[in-house]
Amino acid sequence: MASSKTSIDEVNIQLTDDLDDYLSMTISESSSNVAQFETSIQRRGRKRREAESRAHQASKAELAHQAQLNRDEALNTSLPVSSKGYQMMARLGFKDGSALGKEGNEHARKEPLGVVVKEGRAGIGMDRERKRKFEDDTDRGEGVKKRETEGDFRERQARERAQKRADGLCCGAMRVLEEFESDDTTTGEGTADKGENAGRSTSKPTAGINLLWRGLVKDRDEKERQRRMRYDLHQSLSRSAAYDDPDEEKQDRQAWGTGEEDVEVEDPELDDFNGLEPAERLRKMVEYLRERWRYCFWCKFQYPDERMDGCPGVTEDEHG
């Protein structure tokens, strides 16, 4: 009876354990027994990545980096026991962790000297000299930057803008002078027409033109000369240099190289005038327009008499 009761109790305990395992919803199978399934897309992606890794060509930077890693690893690796150098030192009494030489020497080195690989063909002290020059240049640059920051940066910017604006006003005044004096021989006194004669080149020699607007003509001639030179360089046709076309224009002759090219003549008077400040050049042109043509550059109007009634003044500030 006792044995049968014991067997019944063991069965009940086994059933209880199975029930607990079922209710706990735990899977007793190890993950290694579960089959790993790979789809066709995953397999193609894995094969493509493997092929790319095999076909990858390392760049120079990658090769240099890998060489440096290999060199550092070799330098950090201690001497193997199987090497002849280690065996020779062992015969002389060397042990791992001890220093070479006389025993009891506290200052003896236990590690070999570090190896520094020198790259480049410069001398040994060149790196130190370059570092010193770099530090000097850096200190000098910081000083200049500091002085520039502490200086009147906004004032300098405002001065540059004012100078650029004055240059533009000088060009406008020279165009007005060209219009008046180009029409002087044909129309006499009259209102300036700013669209009719703009861009007209004068037939006078450059030295005979009024100094106030002579620079405009000279710049225009220089641009025309540059244009003819570009035309000559890009000309794809060819012809004999002895060919002479009587109907050919002067500019075409110069472009083909068959005519006499204008020689640029130095003009010290114009150079001195251009050396003045833009504001000073503009003042002289404005005063000349008022005295000679009774024209106010700021009003953009030619007055009928010398009194110029209705004009606020000579300067731009007076015109508001």
- Residue 10: the pLDDT is 59
Q: Is 33 exposed, middle or buried (0-12, 13-18, 19+ CB in 10 A)?
A: exposed
pTM of the model: 0.44
Distance CA 95, CA 98 (A): 6
- Predicted confidence band of residue 192 (pLDDT cuts 50, 70, 90): very low
Among 65-74, 127-136, 177-186, 250-259, top mean pLDDT goes to 65-74
Contact 296, 285 (CB under 8 A): no
Nearest to 211 by CA among 238, 181, 167: 181
Asked whether residue 24 carries a pLDDT value surpassing 80, the answer given is no
CB-neighbour burial class of residue 286 (10 A; exposed 0-12, middle 13-18, buried 19+): buried
From 56-70, 76-90, 181-195, 265-279, the region with the lowest mean pLDDT = 181-195
Exposure class string for 39-54: b at 16+ Cβ within 10 A, else e: eeeeeeeeeeeeeeee
On whether the CB atoms of residues 174 and 270 are closer than 8 A, the answer is no
Residue 176 token pair: 């007005």
Contact 246, 219 (CB under 8 A): no
pLDDT 10s digits, 99-128 = 777 777 777 777 777 777 777 777 777 878
Listed range (32-41, 186-195, 220-229, 310-319) with the worst mean pLDDT: 186-195
